[in-house]
Amino acid sequence: MSSDQDHLRETDTEERFDFKKEETAAFKTDKGLTEETIRLISEDKDEPEWMLERRLRALKQYQNMPMPTDWPGQPDLSELDIEEIVPYIRPDVDTREGVDDWTELPDEIKDTFDKLGIPEAEKNALSGVGAQYESEVVYQNMQEQWEEKGVIFMNMDRAVQEHPEIVKEYFMTTCVPPSDNKFAALHGAIWSGGSFVYVPEDVTVEMPVQAYFRMNSEGMGQFEHTLIIAEPGSEVHYIEGCSAPKYSAFNLHSGGVEVFVKEGAHVQYSTVQNWSKNTYNLNTKRAIAERDATMEWISGSMGSKATMLYPSTILKEPGATDTHITIAFAGEGQNIDTGAKVYHNAPNTKSTVESKSISKDGGRTNYRGLVHIADGAENSSTAVECDALMFDNESTSDTMPYMEIEESKVDVAHEATVGKIGDEDIFYLQSRGLDDDDAKKMIVAGFIKPITEELPIEYAVELNRLIELEMEGSLG
């Protein structure tokens, strides 16, 4: 491919993520977080009283919790002022009824998601698509063949109204309660939008389900909630994409994800996050896996000023399996603190963690992980592998694995490597006709191959392009 074609492709990809639209909100709260704000959000959504009560309890918990500051090497959150964040913006779309026809969206929103490639993805590779703009899901659609089998895929606000008993049982109760951490409590108070996925027993959804979250307005927060329930013997692959344009004011993304993987079920949760470098990305994601269930987390974290993200799985019953494959990239001014947490609470459980990180131009990446094997979890096994690649002497990469082993009859393995791109590797590739930049791109492509192999081809290509743009410093 010619250099002109490369430049055009890079420009198209940059424009795809860093464009911004004039804000046209139908309803918008003031900055900050008060009980009045919570009541306004709940009233605007016409929520039942029990959800408002949960929001208000979460608010009190949030107010009584300190900001996390004592973790070694954690991102600096001192510039994040929640009182300067707009917690709720409802776009000018009737989200209560749900829009399932792309042409019904306002032009500015439709154009946003057209540029992000959502319609093409829906037609070519997906069984269902949800698109969130600001605080609300503006579009949701599920192929009829899956609806006929009882699969439910809708936004969380509709689920509260149409499936209240299910939501009441699972929403922020046993998996991610507001008491878990300060940002989980914040999320519980002002959550909005997100996805509700329910897969009946023994149903396999053969094509991925996707949700895409877009922040457009400056200084806002996005707090979508994803709840996935996979009944016994079922299988589903959920893909999440995220992006935001760059502004001078800070944005906050504090989503919540709860996954319930019942006996013999299989859930894969894939994320490609490309937040702008004025965004704090502070999420809580957790799964509970029952007997012989399988949970897989596949995640790529690019962009953001700071990220603190540690998807976790509780292996609750015998035979449960958990896999984490993660890639993180940090450039100038970025601190990407990611990892995985696994709790082996039953015998014959298995987990695998494979973490890849890349840092350049003074960026910092950190793997922060926890594996806990409880007393009595006999014949359980875990393997953790952390590999870090640095481009220069100014960049930093650390691994902070914690192993809490309370059972002797287990198999535990851990391996970590940290290194710079070797001059001899660059020289070898240059001797084969590649220039310096292309040689580095090829090395990185091989380095991240384990995660791209787990994604559908469209997303693997996109992830590789995002990494290349980050290496070139082209993304804001």
DSSP 202-259: T-B--S-EEEEEE--STTBEE--EEEEEE-TT-EEEEEEEEE----SS-EEE--EEEE
Q: Is the pLDDT of residue 362 over 50?
A: yes
Average pLDDT (414-438) is 76
The lowest-confidence range among 11-25, 184-198, 217-231, 347-361 is: 11-25
Q: Is the pLDDT of residue 451 over 60?
A: yes
Residue 5 or residue 421, greater confidence = 421
What are residue 241's DSSP bridge partners?
Answer: 212, 272
Q: Pull the structure tokens for residue 471.
A: 């290496």
**Residue 100 binned pLDDT confidence (cut-offs 50, 70, 90):** low
Amino acid at 349: T
On whether the CB atoms of residues 442 and 434 are closer than 8 A, the answer is yes
Give every CB contact of residue 310 below 8 A, 6+ residues apart in sequence: 285, 338, 339, 340, 341, 368, 369, 370
Distances from the Cα of 86 to the Cα of 177, 208, 426, 453, angstroms: 23, 32, 47, 38
Is residue 306 domain-resident?
yes
Q: What is the pLDDT of residues 56-98, one digit of tens each?
A: 999 999 999 998 887 888 899 989 998 988 888 876 655 445 5
Average pLDDT (182-204) is 94
Average pLDDT (437-442) is 76
Instruction: Please give the DSSP secondary-structure letter assigned to residue 80.
Output: -
Q: Is the pLDDT of residue 363 over 80?
A: yes
The confidence score (pLDDT) of residue 13 equals 44
**Residue 244 binned pLDDT confidence (cut-offs 50, 70, 90):** low
Is residue 13 helix, strand or coil? helix
Is residue 123 domain-resident?
yes
**Residue 393 binned pLDDT confidence (cut-offs 50, 70, 90):** confident
Taking the alpha carbons at both ends of the chain, their separation in whole angstroms is 25
Is residue 118 domain-resident?
yes
Length of the chain: 476
Percent of the chain with pLDDT over 90: 43
Is residue 167 domain-resident?
yes
Residue 172 or residue 422, greater confidence = 172
Q: Pull the structure tokens for residue 403.
A: 């192993």
Give every CB contact of residue 70 below 8 A, 6+ residues apart in sequence: none
What are residue 273's DSSP bridge partners?
Answer: 242, 301
**Residue 282 binned pLDDT confidence (cut-offs 50, 70, 90):** very high
Range of the domain at 22: 3-69+79-472
Q: Is the pLDDT of residue 350 over 90?
A: yes
**Residue 294 binned pLDDT confidence (cut-offs 50, 70, 90):** very high
Q: How far apart are CA 151 and CA 209, in angstroms?
A: 11
The confidence score (pLDDT) of residue 127 equals 54
Q: Pull the structure tokens for residue 196.
A: 């509700």
The lowest-confidence range among 248-252, 411-415, 430-434 is: 248-252
Q: Does the model's pTM come out above 0.95?
A: no
In the chain, the number of structural domains is: 1
Is residue 214 domain-resident?
yes
Per-residue H/E/C for 414-476: EEEEEEECCHHHHHHHHCCCCCHHHHHHHHHHHHCHHHHCCCCHHHHHHHHHHHHHHHHCCCC
Pairing verdict, β 306-309 and 335-338:
parallel
Average pLDDT, the chain: 81
Residue 314 or residue 450, greater confidence = 314
Is residue 74 domain-resident?
no
Q: How far apart are CA 247 and CA 250, in angstroms?
A: 7
Instruction: Please give the DSSP secondary-structure letter assigned to residue 57.
Output: H
On whether the CB atoms of residues 463 and 240 are closer than 8 A, the answer is no
The lowest-confidence range among 66-80, 363-377, 424-438 is: 424-438
Is residue 114 helix, strand or coil? helix
Torsion angles phi and psi, residue 421, rounded to 5: -65, 125
Is residue 73 helix, strand or coil? coil
On whether the CB atoms of residues 299 and 273 are closer than 8 A, the answer is yes
Distances from the Cα of 38 to the Cα of 88, 389, 438, angstroms: 10, 44, 51
Q: How far apart are CA 365 and CA 285, in angstroms?
A: 19
Give every CB contact of residue 217 below 8 A, 6+ residues apart in sequence: 23, 25, 86, 89, 134
Pairing verdict, β 209-214 and 221-222:
unpaired
Q: What is the pLDDT of residues 113-163, one digit of tens each?
A: 555 455 455 445 445 555 555 555 544 555 577 778 899 988 899 999 999
Is residue 339 domain-resident?
yes
Amino acid at 398: D
The confidence score (pLDDT) of residue 406 equals 97
Q: How far apart are CA 117 and CA 459, in angstroms?
A: 11
Note the Cα 355 to chain centre separation in Å.
Answer: 15
**Residue 288 binned pLDDT confidence (cut-offs 50, 70, 90):** very high
Residue 247 or residue 411, greater confidence = 411
The lowest-confidence range among 5-19, 254-268, 327-341 is: 5-19
CA-based nearest residue to 390, from 415, 339, 356, 354: 356
Q: What is the pLDDT of residues 199-215, one digit of tens each?
A: 999 999 987 887 776 66
Percent of the chain with pLDDT over 70: 74
Hey, how many other C-beta atoms are within 10 angstroms of the C-beta on 277?
A: 17
Torsion angles phi and psi, residue 424, rounded to 5: -70, -35
Residue 418 or residue 242, greater confidence = 418
Is residue 22 domain-resident?
yes
The confidence score (pLDDT) of residue 103 equals 57
Q: How far apart are CA 468 and CA 328, in angstroms?
A: 13
Q: How far apart are CA 381 and CA 194, in angstroms?
A: 34
